[in-house]
Structure 1
Protein backbone atom coordinates (compact mmCIF):
# COMPACT_ATOMS: atom_id res chain seq x y z
CA UNK A 1 0.00 0.00 0.00
CA UNK A 2 2.81 2.39 0.89
CA UNK A 3 4.59 1.62 -2.38
CA UNK A 4 1.46 2.43 -4.37
CA UNK A 5 1.22 5.77 -2.56
CA UNK A 6 4.82 6.67 -3.49
CA UNK A 7 4.16 5.59 -7.08
CA UNK A 8 1.15 7.93 -7.29
CA UNK A 9 3.24 10.77 -5.88
CA UNK A 10 5.96 10.19 -8.49
CA UNK A 11 3.37 10.27 -11.27
CA UNK A 12 1.85 13.45 -9.82
CA UNK A 13 5.17 15.29 -9.62
CA UNK A 14 6.22 14.24 -13.11
CA UNK A 15 2.91 15.39 -14.57
CA UNK A 16 3.12 18.60 -12.57
CA UNK A 17 6.59 19.22 -13.99
CA UNK A 18 5.31 18.61 -17.52
CA UNK A 19 2.46 21.07 -17.14
CA UNK A 20 4.69 23.51 -15.26
CA UNK A 21 6.89 23.69 -18.37
CA UNK A 22 4.16 25.84 -19.91
CA UNK A 23 5.08 28.71 -17.60
CA UNK A 24 8.69 29.16 -18.80
CA UNK A 25 7.62 28.32 -22.35
CA UNK A 26 5.11 31.17 -22.34
CA UNK A 27 7.80 33.52 -21.05
CA UNK A 28 10.18 32.46 -23.83
CA UNK A 29 7.39 32.94 -26.38
CA UNK A 30 6.72 36.47 -25.08
CA UNK A 31 10.43 37.36 -25.19
CA UNK A 32 10.61 35.91 -28.71
CA UNK A 33 7.81 38.24 -29.79
CA UNK A 34 9.84 41.16 -28.50
CA UNK A 35 13.29 40.19 -29.78
CA UNK A 36 12.68 37.87 -32.78
CA UNK A 37 15.72 35.73 -32.00
CA UNK A 38 15.88 32.25 -33.52
CA UNK A 39 17.75 30.97 -30.47
CA UNK A 40 14.68 31.63 -28.34
CA UNK A 41 12.65 29.43 -30.68
CA UNK A 42 15.17 26.61 -30.25
CA UNK A 43 14.94 26.86 -26.47
CA UNK A 44 11.16 27.03 -26.69
CA UNK A 45 11.15 23.88 -28.82
CA UNK A 46 13.34 22.05 -26.30
CA UNK A 47 11.04 23.03 -23.44
CA UNK A 48 7.92 21.93 -25.31
CA UNK A 49 9.47 18.59 -26.32
CA UNK A 50 10.62 18.07 -22.74
CA UNK A 51 7.08 18.71 -21.49
CA UNK A 52 5.57 16.33 -24.03
CA UNK A 53 8.10 13.65 -23.09
CA UNK A 54 7.33 14.01 -19.39
CA UNK A 55 3.58 13.97 -19.86
CA UNK A 56 3.58 10.93 -22.14
CA UNK A 57 5.94 8.82 -20.05
CA UNK A 58 4.83 9.83 -16.54
CA UNK A 59 3.12 6.49 -15.89
CA UNK A 60 6.08 4.43 -17.09
CA UNK A 61 7.76 2.06 -14.66
CA UNK A 62 11.06 3.67 -15.65
CA UNK A 63 10.50 6.56 -13.26
CA UNK A 64 10.42 4.33 -10.18
CA UNK A 65 14.21 4.15 -10.46
CA UNK A 66 15.84 7.19 -8.81
CA UNK A 67 18.75 7.14 -11.27
CA UNK A 68 16.34 7.79 -14.16
CA UNK A 69 15.01 10.87 -12.42
CA UNK A 70 18.57 12.03 -11.71
CA UNK A 71 19.28 11.78 -15.44
CA UNK A 72 16.19 13.86 -16.09
CA UNK A 73 17.38 16.42 -13.55
CA UNK A 74 20.79 16.62 -15.22
CA UNK A 75 19.10 17.20 -18.58
CA UNK A 76 17.06 19.96 -16.94
CA UNK A 77 20.18 21.64 -15.57
CA UNK A 78 21.69 21.93 -19.05
CA UNK A 79 18.72 22.37 -21.39
CA UNK A 80 15.60 23.50 -19.49
CA UNK A 81 14.72 26.20 -16.97
CA UNK A 82 16.13 25.47 -13.53
CA UNK A 83 12.80 26.11 -11.80
CA UNK A 84 11.71 22.69 -13.07
CA UNK A 85 14.21 21.08 -10.70
CA UNK A 86 11.95 21.74 -7.69
CA UNK A 87 9.11 19.36 -8.63
CA UNK A 88 11.63 16.90 -10.08
CA UNK A 89 13.37 16.81 -6.70
CA UNK A 90 10.08 15.84 -5.06
CA UNK A 91 9.65 13.05 -7.61
CA UNK A 92 13.22 11.90 -6.93
CA UNK A 93 12.62 11.91 -3.19
CA UNK A 94 9.53 9.72 -3.60
CA UNK A 95 11.35 7.36 -5.97
CA UNK A 96 14.16 7.04 -3.43
CA UNK A 97 11.66 6.22 -0.67
CA UNK A 98 10.01 3.68 -2.97
CA UNK A 99 13.31 1.83 -3.43
CA UNK A 100 13.95 1.63 0.32
Structure 2
Protein backbone atom coordinates (compact mmCIF):
# COMPACT_ATOMS: atom_id res chain seq x y z
CA UNK A 1 0.00 0.00 0.00
CA UNK A 2 1.45 3.35 -0.99
CA UNK A 3 0.20 6.86 -0.71
CA UNK A 4 1.14 10.43 -0.11
CA UNK A 5 1.41 11.84 3.37
CA UNK A 6 -0.47 15.11 3.95
CA UNK A 7 -0.18 16.84 7.31
CA UNK A 8 -2.62 19.70 7.74
CA UNK A 9 -2.11 22.49 10.24
CA UNK A 10 -4.70 22.35 12.99
CA UNK A 11 -5.54 26.06 12.88
CA UNK A 12 -6.43 25.88 9.19
CA UNK A 13 -8.78 23.01 9.89
CA UNK A 14 -11.15 24.09 12.58
CA UNK A 15 -14.00 21.69 13.11
CA UNK A 16 -17.61 22.66 13.37
CA UNK A 17 -19.20 22.81 16.80
CA UNK A 18 -21.30 19.95 18.06
CA UNK A 19 -20.75 16.23 18.28
CA UNK A 20 -17.64 14.89 16.68
CA UNK A 21 -18.26 12.45 13.86
CA UNK A 22 -15.08 10.87 12.51
CA UNK A 23 -16.53 9.86 9.16
CA UNK A 24 -18.00 13.31 8.51
CA UNK A 25 -14.74 14.92 9.59
CA UNK A 26 -12.83 12.69 7.17
CA UNK A 27 -15.20 13.57 4.32
CA UNK A 28 -14.85 17.27 5.08
CA UNK A 29 -11.04 17.00 5.19
CA UNK A 30 -10.92 15.20 1.85
CA UNK A 31 -13.16 17.85 0.25
CA UNK A 32 -10.97 20.64 1.62
CA UNK A 33 -7.81 18.83 0.49
CA UNK A 34 -9.13 18.37 -3.05
CA UNK A 35 -10.20 22.01 -3.24
CA UNK A 36 -6.77 23.06 -1.83
CA UNK A 37 -8.28 24.88 1.13
CA UNK A 38 -6.10 23.14 3.72
CA UNK A 39 -2.82 24.65 4.86
CA UNK A 40 -0.39 21.75 4.70
CA UNK A 41 2.78 21.40 6.76
CA UNK A 42 6.10 20.31 5.34
CA UNK A 43 7.05 16.75 6.30
CA UNK A 44 10.75 16.11 5.64
CA UNK A 45 11.89 12.85 4.12
CA UNK A 46 14.20 10.45 5.91
CA UNK A 47 17.44 12.05 4.75
CA UNK A 48 16.32 15.52 5.89
CA UNK A 49 15.32 14.11 9.28
CA UNK A 50 18.77 12.53 9.63
CA UNK A 51 20.48 15.85 8.78
CA UNK A 52 18.28 17.65 11.32
CA UNK A 53 19.14 15.09 13.97
CA UNK A 54 22.85 15.45 13.19
CA UNK A 55 22.63 19.24 13.35
CA UNK A 56 20.74 19.18 16.66
CA UNK A 57 23.21 16.70 18.13
CA UNK A 58 26.23 18.77 17.08
CA UNK A 59 24.61 21.93 18.50
CA UNK A 60 23.86 20.17 21.79
CA UNK A 61 27.41 18.79 22.03
CA UNK A 62 28.81 22.28 21.45
CA UNK A 63 26.57 23.70 24.18
CA UNK A 64 27.61 20.90 26.54
CA UNK A 65 31.31 21.58 25.88
CA UNK A 66 30.88 25.30 26.60
CA UNK A 67 28.89 24.54 29.75
CA UNK A 68 31.57 22.12 31.01
CA UNK A 69 34.31 24.60 30.15
CA UNK A 70 32.53 27.30 32.18
CA UNK A 71 32.06 24.88 35.10
CA UNK A 72 35.77 23.99 34.98
CA UNK A 73 36.75 27.66 34.98
CA UNK A 74 34.45 28.37 37.93
CA UNK A 75 35.86 25.40 39.84
CA UNK A 76 39.44 26.52 39.21
CA UNK A 77 38.64 30.10 40.26
CA UNK A 78 36.98 28.78 43.41
CA UNK A 79 40.24 26.97 44.21
CA UNK A 80 42.13 30.25 43.52
CA UNK A 81 43.77 28.85 40.38
CA UNK A 82 43.65 31.56 37.72
CA UNK A 83 44.56 29.43 34.75
CA UNK A 84 42.21 31.34 32.45
CA UNK A 85 44.40 34.45 32.71
CA UNK A 86 47.37 32.45 31.37
CA UNK A 87 45.74 30.47 28.55
CA UNK A 88 42.94 31.23 26.14
CA UNK A 89 41.50 27.70 26.01
CA UNK A 90 41.15 25.80 29.29
CA UNK A 91 40.79 22.52 27.44
CA UNK A 92 43.67 23.17 25.04
CA UNK A 93 47.13 21.63 24.94
CA UNK A 94 48.91 24.53 26.67
CA UNK A 95 46.44 24.48 29.57
CA UNK A 96 46.96 20.74 30.00
CA UNK A 97 50.75 21.20 29.95
CA UNK A 98 50.53 23.88 32.65
CA UNK A 99 48.35 21.62 34.81
CA UNK A 100 50.84 18.74 34.54
CA UNK A 101 53.74 20.82 35.93
TM-score range, shorter chain: 0.3 to 0.5
Which structure has the highest helix share of the two? 1
Radius of gyration: which is bigger? 2
TM-score, normalisation: structure 2: 0.37
TM-score, normalisation: structure 1: 0.37
